Amino acid sequence: MPGTRLVDSGRVRPDARAWFADRTTSATSLAAIDAAALLQAKRRSGDRISVVLPARNEEATVGRLVADLHARWVREVPLVDELVVVDSDSTDRTAAVARAAGADVVATTDVLPGHGTRRGKGEALWKSLAATTGDLVVFLDADLLGDVSHYVPGLLGPLLTDPQVDYVKGCYTRPLEVGDSVVPAGGGRVTELTARPLLNALWPELAGFVQPLGGEYAGRRTALEQVPFVSAYGVEVGLLIDLLRLGGLGSLAQVDLGERRHTSQSVEALGEMAGQVVATVLARAASDREPSGLLTQFRHDGAAFVPRTSAVAVDERPPMADVPEYREQLAG
Ligand SMILES: O=c1ccn([C@@H]2O[C@H](COP(=O)(O)OP(=O)(O)O)[C@@H](O)[C@H]2O)c(=O)[nH]1
Ligand SMILES: O=C(O)[C@@H](COP(=O)(O)O)O[C@H]1O[C@H](CO)[C@@H](O)[C@H](O)[C@H]1O
């Protein structure tokens, strides 16, 4: 069509394209993973490995997930030294179910009590650093469905084999279950509609990340304790930007883990999540405007639209390395 500018959709910034080519590996099933070699690499490195599941009201899914991970990676192949569920203000039986399945369980309110407690996933992840001892820490959501035991070695692979890598994100296809039907790539709605456009706009070097908000990732403690943890759902995008700044693109990697299914939230809840992601990004982007910290959404009550404004402002915890109690704990 005359006058239409052909946009080469394959054009990604050279550094992002090179990163995507060099730092994306695949571990889409257990068959694709040499667990014995990883165990050997772990023993050679002398690293301890912690797996952390932040969980708020996940009694329906956390038990099977923990039982699978414990059987496979604590008992059968001792890749994991501690499997910890961080109970994040649950009001159901998450803690009891997780403990019965073999996890150690800590409540966010019981960790670093001198620093109080805040709501949100980021708080659970920040406190998990003070509740675990692993040199390498793997984070998995507690609402994952299906067999995901290969996620753990998949995420650990780059950390155990490449000393340059400090942080690894999982990537996957994300089918979205809506009632009885499945939308093949319908999941990751906040990623597709908010995080990806923002990151591409402001940090184009991160354009190669397939799932920048994915809840499955792993990192070296020496890196994780140097960055802030955003208190709520901004934690993933905050970690990605801050770890890019800390170690550069060469310190980051991603692993194709195949497919990810989880229990999804409502669009309204994801709207608040998107607000927190935006607040986190704006706090990191040079900007002459102070974010409002508010999000107004609308419901239709049959006669008219009804506005509902929620606070999406986020605060954050400091790098754990700056916390005296944590340093004393490490010093033993
Ligand atoms: O205040 C919170 C909110 C969420 N989560 C956990 O963080 C993970 C991801 O949260 P959620 O499933 O709500 O997000 P989604 O995957 O739907 O984006 C799950 O294991 C939640 O139980 C948490 O520990 N504390
Ligand atoms: O990627 C996304 O868009 C959101 C929502 O996913 P769905 O549309 O519910 O599949 O899920 C992720 O985002 C959260 C915020 O970073 C993470 O905390 C979740 O672990 C992750 O599932």
pLDDT attached to residue 295:
60
- Is the shortest distance between the CB of 215 and ligand 1 below 6 Å? yes
- Ligand 2 cavity residues, CB under 6 Å: 121, 141, 174, 176, 187-191, 213-215, 233, 236, 264-265, 270, 273
Nearest alpha carbon, ligand 1 atom 25: 121
In this predicted model, what pLDDT tens digit does every residue of 307-320 receive, in sequence order?
Answer: 566 677 789 999 99
Residue among 140, 143, 183, 189 whose CB has most ligand 2 atoms within 8 A, to mutate: 189
pLDDT attached to residue 21:
86
Residue among 61, 88, 140 whose CB has most ligand 1 atoms within 8 A, to mutate: 88
Q: Residue 89 C-alpha to ligand 2 middle, in angstroms?
A: 19
Write down the pTM of the prediction.
0.90
Atom of ligand 1 nearest to the CA of 264: 17
pLDDT attached to residue 7:
38
Residues in contact with 37: Cβ distance below 8 Å, sequence separation at least 6, in sequence order = none
Structural domains present in the chain:
14-331 (3.90.550.10)
Burial class (CB in 10 A: 0-12, 13-18, 19+), 104: middle
Q: Residue 188 C-alpha to ligand 2 middle, in angstroms?
A: 5
Q: Give the residue ranges of the chain where pLDDT is below 50.
A: 1-9, 298, 300, 305-306
ipTM here: 0.98
In this predicted model, what pLDDT tens digit does every residue of 168-210 receive, in sequence order?
Answer: 999 998 999 888 888 887 899 999 899 988 888 888 888 889 8
pLDDT attached to residue 306:
47
Distance CA 111, CA 24 (A): 35
